[in-house]
Amino acid sequence: MPTSSSSLDRLAMTVLQPGFDGVTPPGWLRRALADGLGGAVLFARNIEDTGQTAELVAALREENPAVVVAVDEEGGAVTRFEAGTGSSWPGNRALGVVDDVTRTERVGRAIGRLLASADVTLNYAPVADVNANPANPVIGIRSFGPDPQLVARHTAALVTGLQAEGVAACAKHFPGHGDTVTDSHLALPTVHAPLDVLRERDLPPFRAAVEAGVQAVMCGHLLVPALDPDVPATLSRRILTGLLREELGFDGMLVTDAIEMRAVAALLPPGEIAVRALVAGVDAICVGASSPEGENVYALRDAIVEAVRDGRLPEERLAEAAARVLAVAEWHAAHAARRTAGDARAEGLGAGPGADSGEELGLETARAAMRVIAAGSDVHRAVPLSRPPLVVHIAPRMSQAVDSDVPVGLTRELAELLPGTVGHTIIAEATALPELSGDRPVVLVVHDAGRHAWVRDLLATAVQARPDAIVVETGIPAEPVGAVYVTTYGVSRASDRVVARWLTGSEETRSRQEKTAG
């Protein structure tokens, strides 16, 4: 017996996960949730603080208790809850440099507790991509590193930590975004590796995530000719059903990356992307931006319903997708109930096992990941900074995945320790350096200088003018320059604070990360 129009509409709404504007639910979103909308994605634009976010999520659940509330909270550069201040945790690459899976699981638990405090269902993390290409413009420090086995064990650890706190994890970007030189926000990347390399390099972290019980996987907008030469992974049944479902054995919720990203949006209209993705095996359609009255969300619903009516999308496939979305909601609800009961039992007894202080854990991790190369042995005997410096951030725009302004956190942290610190930011090519002469110490902050010729050129010019400059690289390190070269492997408040304390002699432990270049 054919499904009624209203039931089919509701199934189609269940598989959609749109973003929205505002710190309270707009009217169209409330109506859509009442109509069965299965998900909503939070961005920095929706978040003021944890209390407000909890109220926002509660308002969403008033309309649909089973709504999957999702967020990108990777730690490090990609943070929504802490976009205004910088993350409390230095991010995946720092965790990979430290290479302590117990610590990574603890960080996962700390992030999970932050999200659980606002009743978030799903974290679009961890990044399971192996950053095999140093020129990668969108993954970089978001990856645990270039080694598949390292990435696999830390992916599993972060999944375990997040899900221990009742927040569903989502390994991304299947089948692996690490060996690309194109940002999928801007165009369709191609992974040119042969099949044997993909199996040995890119797939182990996703296999590890599946074995760890990950609740969700996000597919990447990637063309991978060795797996399917015809269509991007998002639209490939061969990749999503054949490889992920049948070979790797994943039976959880499969979600797209945002479908307005140019990698796929340049190929097909949104409704067609949604339909073809569902046919290929996707269960949820992520839509980062919505029309002022949600018109695009209802247009997607209508396109899905029409595809079922036309026979292009089997109704059974849509029902299966909706069921997987609801299963994640049920999993979260069960964990949230157990968490509430456990919190009630533990009241007055102090924190339970694994309940690290998020801030202190982040600082410990940033401290363990920091490395210092000095041009002389004096770094062991003297504080690099004893007077307020000029801090010059040579900061090209990071990937569109980063939902925050240009990071100037080191200036802020140094100013607290050395009042009178001055900051200057350069965000575009062909911008002149500020005046560097004089007695004021100079700190030069760069991100992935090795990937940007203009940043390298400005950095070389600055170091030539001030050979005593301190250089801080927050991304993937390149050739060390400057009198002192500090690498953080992460963009975060934790990293900035640790570097500032180290530079001013405020850190108790200085020697473990230091080495001297003769």
Active site members: 185, 257
Structure tokens at 73: 């909270």
DSSP 8-state code for residue 325: H
- Angle 260-262-267 from CA coordinates, rounded to 5°: 95
Reduce the DSSP state of residue 117 to 3 states and report it.
coil
In whole angstroms, what is the distance from residue 491 CA to residue 75 CA?
Answer: 9
DSSP 8-state code for residue 246: I
In whole angstroms, what is the distance from residue 154 CA to residue 164 CA?
Answer: 15
Residue 469, classified by CB atoms within 10 Å of its CB into exposed (0-12), middle (13-18) or buried (19+), is buried
At how many degrees (to 10) do helices 270-280 and 315-346 cross? 80
**3-state secondary structure string across 132-181:** CCCCCCCCHHHCCCCCHHHHHHHHHHHHHHHHHCCCEEEEEEECCCCCCC
In whole angstroms, what is the distance from residue 40 CA to residue 121 CA?
Answer: 10
Residue 137, classified by CB atoms within 10 Å of its CB into exposed (0-12), middle (13-18) or buried (19+), is buried
In whole angstroms, what is the distance from residue 456 CA to residue 473 CA?
Answer: 11
Specify which residues 321 forms β-bridges with.
none
Question: What pairing do the DSSP bridges indicate for beta strands 168-174 and 216-219?
Answer: parallel
Reduce the DSSP state of residue 47 to 3 states and report it.
coil
Structure tokens at 50: 């944890």
Q: In the β-sheet with 422-426, what is the strand arrangement from edge to edge?
A: 422-426, 390-394, 442-446, 470-473, 484-487, 371-374, 514-516
In whole angstroms, what is the distance from residue 392 CA to residue 459 CA?
Answer: 10
303, 341 Cβ separation under 8 angstroms: no
In whole angstroms, what is the distance from residue 343 CA to residue 378 CA?
Answer: 51
CA 71 to mean position of chain CA atoms? 9
In whole angstroms, what is the distance from residue 219 CA to residue 172 CA?
Answer: 6
Instruction: Name the residue type at position 138.
Output: V
At how many degrees (to 10) do helices 5-14 and 295-310 cross? 120
Rama region for 482: left / alpha / beta (φ>0; ψ in -120 to 50; rest):
left
